[in-house]
Structure 1
């Protein structure tokens, strides 16, 4: 595979039947392999009659990585194979071996297929209705509450002799797998697994031709006409009983597909409504940095006694936390678009919030001496939302402008955990003051590491001016450290 990648500009992986499952797994491995690399080959996986291979957790993970567009699963309306392995195997095992051998030999040569052992008509009927009965359970649970052992991901291209439709909503895909099988028959469901070559040719020809509705009664609206055309393309008669359920599934897919984008739009409005809270904290930071006591933003909030100003900032801090926790909950519950965490608007907004507010969270943590009871902030006190925002920021697309050296100090310290690291360094310094320096080599090494790290941030101007304020915690710590070194 690595040799192929060296010679290729793009990679297309295909597979039929169980080979489709292998192609899918191979593609997932390649995507994971390229995930850590800056430049990588475009990858596309196309499967034909492949069974579902993953559960809902895998499907969600693939959505979050924005890999769904890398997969196109072609499924014939009569093919039983994509539904087959989702059925409990104990009831199918005796028949599976016969079917797989027949398919394998038939793909090698139609003449070989005739020599293979065949299922009797009765066995074909039993197999067909067992699979159909199991897939029917999807509808017993109601909309939005499907409990399937296997969960689809990517784009599903449902084809028939009349055309094709494409779906990417998991629940709608599961329902269409069931509904299209209802229009099939035992013999047809087995033989159609071998007809993907014909289906691809027909779809290609139909794409070049103008598609007309065969129904004499045309729907009044273009949306209804589109639904009718989709049903016909899927091989489902428009007036058939199954058509009503399929139509409902397509409507649901359309509605569900719009919901994440609608939620994102509503969140954008909510983001604008919380801007005044953020602006008040920014004003507070400016006033602290310009104060005569020269403490700076972090130390002012940590040492300030109860006051109207302090309480106001603290209240705004909690309001912002509530908003961003709601964003995280919606994102993790797939209520937002899969690429939400990659959108510049939200990556930048979450990063700015983290750089502005997390120093206040750290100050509050140490002001209340919470670290004495639970441990230091970085290991025991950091909110999960900040860790998620770190991942979003690391996953962004970095432009050349982002690597330009700074000419002045940053408006916000670029390491939102800088003050937490300083608090740990202050504790280490106290330990060394009370002990034998020669026996505290590991602690001394940790101190020197932080000193180099902080100096690097300052030299690159990646800190706010409050870090180097005359009476800031960092300035006082650095002075103590220098004095300790002189007395050694």
Structure 2
């Protein structure tokens, strides 16, 4: 893989330090501190002050905690289904990650202030529809702000609301690797977190006795010194930098974190001035590998070392070789992910072509007066083998897609499902009948007992979404009654000739009915089940929920009818048998009800 110059972290840092939201957030923290009483009540423990500042289209919510001593507060509590606090953040868990650990003090702060936090959450859900929300906090206030932002994100419909941004200053880490993985499961959530941390501030490192302490960062970190800064997203590199520079803070012991502030305002202003005057770090040239040169320059900027050649001499506690290796690997993983995303885009386009080929196969089968289900079941032509290849490729793609969506946390999985539900429903209705044809051609019975899970889930998700739409439609009709449109109720009738069966398992019912006809003598319940099948077919015809292909001369449905009419005899009468005997289905393809001629 070709190495690229890795200067994006420097460039992003320069953009951020000149952006108004970053400075406005820090000013909101300062203003909040100045408004608090000069002497805090020593008996008031775990108090949380939340303040609101407005700037045109941006609302800044700042968090400030009462002073806490962080030295001995590094313990994490594991949130599992058995834990009483689990329900607060259960939404983060998915199939692959069922539990995670969070700093115990942060959780306790959150619980004790839950009522007030919930009021703010509901308020921000409403305001996020029209205003950009920034959640901010300094030191331990930043830790609580981070938890609150996660809680807020799960309450928002991000297809309608603007994504909130959480900006923390000198915040300690709040959770473990499992929490980081949970956040990454949500495709857009990690980008909602910007953590500003000075290399000289002891608080971001306070829980990190070693890289094996259990804590792991997530989101983007603007690591900085008064000389420069760079943005890093690689959790392992961030962790190593924080741990290995902790010795620099020994002379600056961790204060009571809360109302005492490390001065990020001066650092941000210095970096803003440097960026505006282009007094910024430039790429080093002594390294022949551009990627390595870019990474060394980022590290020099973060650590305030003016020459990358003297990094090791000025920072002897940092293992630069392993650190650079981690950052190189991270950049390469990002490049591979871009290639994977592009590959997914290509696969999606390929699958559209496969579906188009199956649609053509369906049309060609209709012209042969057999229907694509029965043609595929018989497999007499070379084109049937080609259709089988397309079917396999489509099934592999959708099996992987559904499996990925199922493994996501509930909210992210639901968002993903809605995004592909239209395509997934078309796939299920078009391709599952061919899967059913293969199953019964090989002598199978009771298909639904062995139905592939991805078809089950696609149907379940579709039904859930349709139920939501129906409830919303009924609610809107109650609130704003309108005369019902006659054309709306006939929309399915006008398109029935080109549609797919609503029930992708329609042919299962037909196949099972054929089996019943053949085994009627040995099945005492067979006649009743055949009557139930009659009702099922009639309902689908009344609702124009099945295609006219079922009436083609060589279809399995017509095979069933030819057997069934001999079983029941001419004296038996029902709505469906009347439809079939009088052939009132002849104009069904034109949107005419099969009951019209009765």
TM-score strictly above 0.5:
yes
Q: CA deviation at 1:260?
A: 1.0
2:184 equivalent to 1:47: no
Structure 2 SS opposite 1:73: strand
Q: Which residue of 1 aligns with 2:295?
A: 227
SS at match of 2:224: strand
Equivalent residues of 2:284, 2:294 under 8 A apart: no
Aligned partners of 1:78, 1:478: CA distance in 2, in Å?
83
Shift in Å, 1:15: 3.4
TM-score normalised according to structure 1 size: 0.62
1:262 is displaced (CA, Å) by 0.9
In 1: Cα distance, 2:252 partner to 2:383 partner:
75
Structure 2 unmatched runs, 5+: 1-118, 313-317, 470-487, 566-571, 578-598
Give deviations 1:87-129, integer Å, cap 9, x for gaps.
6xxxxxxxxxxxxxxxxxxxxxxxxxxxxxxxxxxxxxxxxxx
Higher relative helix content? 1
- SS of the counterpart of 2:154? helix
Partner residue, 2:339 = 262
Call closer, same or farther: CA 1:475–1:253 in 2, change over 3 Å: same
Structure 1 counterpart of 2:495, from 394, 408, 413: 408
- Partner of 1:75: helix, strand, or coil? strand
Contact 2:405 2:417 in 1 (8 A): no
CA RMSD of aligned residues (A): 5.3
- Residues 1:466 and 2:549 aligned together: yes
What is the alpha-carbon distance in structure 1 between the residues aligned to residue 455 and residue 251 of structure 2? 54
- The answer on whether the counterparts of 1:347 and 1:393 sit within 8 Å (CA) in structure 2 is no
The SS at the match of 2:549 is coil
In structure 2, the CA distance between the partners of 1:323 and 1:434, relative to structure 1 (3 Å rule), is: same
Distance 2:372 2:264 in 1: 67
1:24 to 136, 146, 161: 146
Alignment map for 1:48-447 (pairs within 5 Å): 48=169, 49-56=171-178, 59-60=181-182, 62-85=184-207, 131=209, 134-135=210-211, 149-181=214-246, 184-188=248-252, 190-191=254-255, 198-208=263-273, 209-212=276-279, 226-235=294-303, 237=305, 238=308, 239-241=310-312, 242=318, 243-269=320-346, 280-292=357-369, 295-302=370-377, 304=378, 308-322=382-396, 353-372=427-446, 376-377=447-448, 380-384=450-454, 387=457, 408-409=495-496, 411=498, 413=500, 415=502, 417-419=504-506, 422=509, 426=513, 435=525
The size of the alignment, in residue pairs, is: 404
In the superposition, the TM-score normalised over structure 2's length comes to 0.52
- The structure-2 alpha-carbon separation of the partners of 1:80 and 1:429, relative to structure 1 and needing over 3 Å to count, comes to farther
Secondary structure (helix, strand or coil) at the match of 2:155 reads helix
Whole-Å Cα distance in 2 between the matches of residues 216 and 260 of structure 1?
25
Q: Distance in 2 between matches of 1:67 and 1:392?
A: 25
Counterparts in 2 of 1:211 and 1:390: CA distance versus 1, 3 Å:
farther
> Deviation per CA, 1:64-98, whole angstroms, max 9, x where unpaired?
4422222223333244544544x6xxxxxxxxxxx
